[in-house]
Amino acid sequence: MSGAAPPSDRAWRGFARALVLTALGLLAGYLALAVLVDPYDTGRVGLLSRGAVRPQGPRTASAVRGRDPAYAGAVIGNSHIQLVEPAELTRLTGVPFVQLSVPATGPAEQFALLGWFLRHHPRPDAIVLAADAFWCADDPAFPSEHPFPFWLVGDWPAYLRGLARFSAAQETVNRIGWLLRAKPKRAAADGWWNYEPDYLRQGFGLDPALKARLDRPVGRETEPHRAGPFPVAARLRAELARVPAATPVVLVFPPVYAAAEPPAGSPRAAAETACRAAIRGALAAHPLSAVVDWRDGRPEARDPDQFFDQSHYRFPVARVLTAEIAADVNRLREGRGH
């Protein structure tokens, strides 16, 4: 008696095999098309690159902005440094700056963008980093509540895995449509996004109830606070080791409203001071570095008209901050370090 499978079983296996091969072929075909189209313009292929930024959120737009050869300096952080205008920094320093700040990000995302910028600008003219409260986290992985496309600025295997998702397929189609338009819409090439109008539309800076929130105590004194070690210090040293010694690095402790500062002598005050000291120590390993510290009790921090909430300041403060950053960039470029 023969051990051969019944004809129905052979037919089913043949159908299943054909189905799998068809699916794999379709996936391979889609990936080939997506790599060619490069939906977020990462430049990995570049055949269809228009040298312009398609309108999209800063999370994905940073991939094209961070590789743009028109820029030799970068501002990297989140919304707490977002109002620093790259064109003004360029005017004050002569260094063409791009804004790579992405709202609701922390060190993990920001260092990934720094790596992407350095990959495409091995000898940048200046780097500006913003170290806010997210830098003082306990977990060395610096997890975020908001998803970030690390795959966009990762290696090829990560990029291919990232393309194999529905959102990337949608953007592939969207980019094809954008490329076919005679006059496609473009986003700001330098990443400038002034969030003041958005806040004003929501009533911030105008609504008395929202303004009153500025002076509410933060209420985090019951949380555990530690004096270190802070994982960000070691990570910052490692990242700065990739930055050329001749590149000025300016680190900013962004402004916060006075009511957000911890009471003097409190555990939180001691922990935040220790964290900033650890960050300063790591930064000092870079030969051309400076700190712009707006956590030092400046009078602007006590003016409620200069803040929308306790960590988002208004444009007049941003302009003063921008001038201070530019002054340090110029000083460092002249060879005057710490």
What is the distance between the alpha carbons of residues 48 and 52, in angstroms, rounded to a whole number? 11
Which H helix or E strand runs over 74? strand 73-76
Highest mean pLDDT among 41-50, 87-96, 137-146: 87-96
Question: Which DSSP category does 18 fall into?
Answer: H
- Asked if residues 97 and 248 have their Cβ atoms less than 8 Å apart, the reply is no
Which H helix or E strand runs over 290? strand 289-293
Q: What is the mean pLDDT of residues 195-211?
A: 88
Q: Is 178 helix (H, G, I), strand (E, B) or coil?
A: helix
Residue 236 has a pLDDT of: 98
Q: What is the mean pLDDT of residues 206-227?
A: 75
Handedness of CA 42, 189, 120, 51 (dihedral sign): positive
pLDDT at residue 87 greater than cutoff 80 = yes
pLDDT at residue 338 greater than cutoff 60 = no
**CATH level 3 topology of 57-147+189-333:** Rossmann fold (3.40.50)
pLDDT tens per residue across span 256-307: 999 999 988 888 899 999 999 999 999 999 999 999 999 998 999 999 999 9
pLDDT tens per residue across span 127-141: 999 999 999 988 999
Residue 96 has a pLDDT of: 98
Q: What share of the chain is helix, strand, coil (3-state, %, to 5)?
A: 50, 10, 45
Q: Tell me the one-letter amino acid at 16.
A: A
Band the pLDDT of 27: cuts 50, 70, 90: confident
